[in-house]
Amino acid sequence: MAGPAPGRRLRLRPLAALALLLALAPGLPAARAGQAPRPAERGPPVRLFTEEELARYGGEEEDQPIYMAVKGVVFDVTSGKEFYGRGAPYNALTGKDSTRGVAKMSLDPADLTHDTVSQTGLTAEELQSLDDVFTTVYKAKYPIVGYTARRILNEDGSPNLDFKPEDQPHFDIKDEF
């Protein structure tokens, strides 16, 4: 009586194959019953952008989406093509983190940087303006597609434990690496 009868084993095989298929098939709810769903099943995955990656989305290509970051949050500003597309007035802000420029309402190339500290720090007024534009323009109008690597990682590459994702309740740092 060691093991099931041969006939029974044969009948189980297709079932086992089905179970395996279900377990491997992404997006089938039954496949992951009892497990926390992964972000991909709850909406588009959130991306981590290096400077080089973000630079590919500066609106040069007609059919590419246009991205820009403010405070390390990468927004898809494609729907604002009249502001951000090629030849449009704010195109210079795209394909990079333009936090300083947005805070100062400046398109000076020296201000088109994430760095709000090393030239001169921002005034209280500029910081307030940055937060206002961040909330009332970017977060209100444009989908968040990810974060800059700089926002999530420390200089030494370790995860920044202070990172709090905006409007990304599903963001799980474990899933992004």
> Which residue's CB comes closest to ligand HEM?
80
Stretch of residues binding ligand HEM (CB under 6 A), selected from 39-47, 101-109, 120-128, 163-171: 101-109
Among 31, 88, 137, 153, binds ligand HEM (CB under 6 A): 137
Quote the least distance from Cβ 44 to ligand HEM, whole Å. 21
Percentages of the chain per state (helix, strand, coil), in multiples of 5: 45, 10, 45
User: Apex CA 42: angle with CA 41 and CA 45, to 5°?
Assistant: 80
Which tokens sit at 60?
């040069």
Quote the least distance from Cβ 32 to ligand HEM, whole Å. 38
**90 makes contact with ligand HEM (CB under 6 A):** yes
Quote the least distance from Cβ 112 to ligand HEM, whole Å. 9
What is residue 121's DSSP assignment? P
Backbone dihedral angles phi then psi of residue 7, each to the nearest 5 degrees = -60, -40
Chain-centre distance for alpha carbon 82: 23
What is residue 11's DSSP assignment? H
- Sheet with 73-76: list strands edge to edge: 47-49, 144-148, 73-76, 67-70
Cα 119 to Cα 32, 106, 114, 167, 176: the distances in Å are 50, 14, 11, 30, 32
Toward ligand HEM, which CB reaches closer, 142 or 171?
A: 142
**107 makes contact with ligand HEM (CB under 6 A):** yes
Among 65, 76, 81, 83, binds ligand HEM (CB under 6 A): 83
Q: Give how many residues touch ligand HEM by CB under 6 A.
A: 12
**105 makes contact with ligand HEM (CB under 6 A):** yes
Toward ligand HEM, which CB reaches closer, 85 or 146?
A: 85
Binding footprint of ligand HEM on the chain (CB under 6 A): 80, 83, 90, 93, 101-102, 105-107, 133, 137, 141
